[in-house]
Structure formats: C-alpha cells, structure tokens
Amino acid sequence: MTNLSELLPAGGGQNNVDFTADSTGVNSGKPCIINSDGTISEVAMSALTNYGLDQSANALIAAGNVSGNMGQMVYVRKEDRYYFFWGYSAQIKYVSFTVNDAGTFAISGIGTGPSNLYSNKYCSFCYDHHTGRGAYTYNYAYAGYSSSQLYYGTLDFNNGSVTFGSAQSGNYYSIGGYCCSDNKGNILFAYEQYPFNLPYVFSAVLPSSGGLANISGENNLESNGGYWHTHYHIEYIPPEDKFQVVHSNSSNVGRTTFVTLTGAGSTPSVGSAGNIWNSSEPTGHLPYLSYDPVSTYMLFIYNNSSNYPAAVCGYTNYSFWNPIGQTVIESTTTSSNQWTKDVKAHESGNVAFTYERSTNTLPSRVKIATFTYGSTSFNWQAGPWNLYSDATATTVRLGAGIGNGRMAYAACMDNYQTSTAFPSNNMGKAGLIKMPASNKDGTNLLGLAAGAIGAGQSGTVNIWGSRNEVQTGLTAGSDYYVQGDGTISTDSTSSSAELIGQAISTTQINIRDYNK
C-alpha cells in the first residue's frame, strides 16, 4: 500500500493534493481512501450477498445422523473454520467446514464426542479467543434413573477435529445447560436444577492446557425458578465485562439477568432479573440474544404472544436491562419450536435472524436488518430468504456463527417425506451470507473530494490539515465522523466511525491535522 507519509504534507495550511480516481470515480465532497495502486476511491460498503445453502452433493451432515435436535455453531478464529455441534442418538456429534467468499464449502466428516446424553438437545459449546480452546456441557443420563447430572469439560480444536477433555461433574439433579466465554479465559455456565426448576450459574477458568480449573460456587439467577423445557442462553458484553443470561421463570415468561465474575474460583455475582419484553411474552419460547458492537445494544429473537418470530432491542446500563423496541420479523407464519431460532449481530452493523416456521410445512428463514444507536426498531435490509428449497415436511434445527466478515448458518434437517431437494432423511446443510464490509480500514482514509472526479481522471482532494467547502447541512461547531458506508455524520458510536474534522459553517469542514 502507498505510504501516506510520503504523499502528504505535515499538516497546516490548505493542503490540497491531486489524485487519480479509480474506475468508478468520486463524487464531490465524499470521503476518499487511497488504494494500493495510488488511485483513490469513495469510502463505501460492499454488497450483502446471500449464497444460500451449499447445494453440492456433499451435505454438511450425512443422511441418517439427525433426529430433531438442536445445533450450535462455533467459529474458531485461529483456523478460520466453523464447527457445528449437535446431539444425536444420545451422543454429541460435530462437523467442521471452511468457506470462502465465493460460497465454496470444504466440509469434514462427522466426528463424535461424549455419549450417554440425557437429552440430545441439552448440550452447549463455546470458543475462547484468548486461549484458542473451548468448553462444552451436557446432561449425563444414569441408566435406570429419571435424573441427570451436569457434565462439562474442555475442547481442543485441530483443523477439523475436536478433542473433548475428560468430563467433570456438577450437580446431580440438572437439566439444560449453556456455556459462554468472555474471550479472556473464563467460562460461565448456566443450567437448571431439577426437580425444583431453579436456574443457577457458576464459572470456571479455561487454562492453556488441561481441564477446567477454579470451579466456582453456584449462584441462583432467580428464586422463583426456571422452566424445565427451556434452554438457557448467555452472551458476553465486552464494554461492561458482564454476561447477560436469558431463561424462563416459573410463569413461563422470558427473563434476563446480568452476571459478573468476581475472581477465579469465586461465586459469580448475580443482578436483578427483568422481563425481556413484558409479563406475557414470550409464552414459553426462550429468546436468543446477541450483543451488537455497532449500536452497543443487545438484540433478541423470540416468539411473541401471537407465536410470531419477533425482534427485541434494548440497552444495558451495567446493572439492568431496558427494552426499548419490538418488531415482528414475519407475521405470515408462526414459529413451531422454542429451540429453532438464532440471532447474530455483525461488525458491519447488520443483524441476521434465523427462525423456523410452522410445523413441518414451510422452509426456515433468514432475514437481515440493520440497527443503529438510539433506534427503537429494526431496518429490514434483505430477506426473508429460505434456508433450503424443500417445502415438503422438513424440520430444521439452526445454528449460526460470525467469522472473518461472513455469517455462516447450518441446518439439521428431519425430512419425513421424500423430496427432490433432499432425497435422504435426516441430513444437514450449511449456508453462507457474506456481510458488507467497508473499504475504509482505519489507516487509509485520505480526506474529502474538493469536487467531482471522473473515472480515471485527476482531481483535488482536501487532505489532513485542510478545509472542505462543498458539504451541505452541517452544524457549525460539531465534530463529524466518516462512517463505514461513506456517509458523514456526528455519530461517533459506531465501531467504523473515524473523526474527519469540525464544521465551521453549514458547508465547510476543517479537516483535522493528519499528525494529531
């Protein structure tokens, strides 16, 4: 890439430099980046692309290995690889795959983990970026007994294969379970004590090798209990260094609680629980949540009182949850199963919602929205897209993962009728959505175009320490930021926002000194 220090003045004065535009050209007043060949381009976002399910002959999961069970996706950053886990025939199974920007999948064979699962749907997995390792949890079934014991352990990843560390045991009477990493080597577990349906959390340290260490004491999330058929979900909130946990109480209402780790081996601190939306929703359909790094809000997907898949947004204030908006994702059909949904917020500002529709008749969906700080509703960008082409009696278990500018999703499918799309029963497929990405990377912002520059033509750019005089609608005295999509605004909250300068009139910006 061109070294900006060799091209630009040290700052001060009216620093205007002529550059040649790329094959697209640059509009007047627009933020510009410098390319590796020395040409300039407007700051812009690439298009969102849905590649759909991998329709090759190789299914993500071979036929005969799925039976109505939940799946969970884990993205392993050090390998740029996705792992998809699920329970089948009382055993943990997994596959892994890589996928490039063209939507081409390379899929591994099926691997296996611990067996004797009490329920195929009560298992959970996570990855810790700090250690490069992961953790798992499931309910171990005792032969001849109606109860189960919480088991948990470590995961080690090796380019498609997974080593499950020896299981460590927890409470004898347990059901459900979820684990989540803070990407600093700490794992939070949530589960339900049976038969009193009380939700509990505890923590452990994930060392660089060996089993989980410093297992903490347990703390009750809420004294009025959980609900036996729910599956917990946890998300870590980096700015607050807290976990947000969702569960259902004894009235079957979706609840959320903040949990703080207080030190290795110390019992986690639990805040006050609150309703996800109100006291009548969701009706037994547990929400899934995702932290949005762009808006800094928490985003949920759940079934509302009409059983429609709905999105909820809200903000956290270090100690409490404040829901501020709800949007029905799709009102033409109902969602039939409490486990078959997911939401993932991407660093581009896009949020992907996946959800199953009415029982065994309609394909599951993906729908994309954007959400910005201060909003109370979602702006739907694309979809709904069908996750698969078969509409003849297929049930899907969903999982989604974000990695390297892409969102991959996986579907475990129970196909109860022969169809042209999936002639074999009980298989799985994977799909890819390539998320938009800005060509502004935090190092290549050049300045603002002094006027329009035609494709391949030379023109003037007002660079650092200069003044641009072709803007409109500015507020004098306000700082302005270039966003990832090339717009200029006073919004500094987005992760892509980069200070460009201060307005001195409705049309003029003093561009900040490059050296400051």
| DSSP string for 442-501 | SS-EEEEESS-B-TT-EEEEEETT-EE----S--TT-EEEE-TTS-EES---STT-EEEE
What is d(CA 295, CA 239) in angstroms, rounded to the nearest whole number? 12
| pLDDT over 90 at 445, yes or no | yes
What is d(CA 445, CA 424) in angstroms, rounded to the nearest whole number? 52
- The full set of domain ranges for the chain reads 4-45+439-511, 49-434
Cis peptide bond N-terminal to 384, omega within 30: yes
Decide: pTM greater than 0.85.
no
| pLDDT over 80 at 307, yes or no | no
Range 4-45+439-511: architecture per CATH:
Beta Barrel (2.40)
pLDDT digits (tens, 9 = 90+) for 46-76: 877 777 666 555 567 766 666 655 678 888 9
pLDDT digits (tens, 9 = 90+) for 278-305: 766 555 456 788 888 777 888 888 877 7
Q: What is the pLDDT of residue 170?
A: 79
Give the CB-side neighbour count of residue 185, counting CA atoms within 13 A. 14
In contact, 213 and 202? CB cutoff 8 Å: no
Q: How far is CA 144 from the centre of its chain?
A: 40
pLDDT digits (tens, 9 = 90+) for 70-93: 678 888 988 989 898 888 888 999
| pLDDT over 60 at 419, yes or no | no
Q: How far is CA 477 from the centre of its chain?
A: 37
pLDDT digits (tens, 9 = 90+) for 227-267: 655 568 899 988 889 999 988 777 767 788 899 999 898 99
Q: Kindly tell me the sign of the dihedral angle through the C-alpha atoms of 363, 364, 366, 372.
A: positive
The fourth-level CATH superfamily of domain 49-434 is YVTN repeat-like/Quinoprotein amine dehydrogenase (2.130.10.10)
In Å, what is the CA distance from 277 to each residue of 161, 313, 318, 410?
A: 40, 9, 18, 28
Averaged pLDDT for residues 337-348? 71
Q: What is the pLDDT of residue 514?
A: 59
> How do beta strands 479-482 and 498-503 pair?
antiparallel
Confidence of residue 145 (pLDDT cuts 50, 70, 90): low
Listed range (372-376, 380-384, 456-460) with the worst mean pLDDT: 372-376
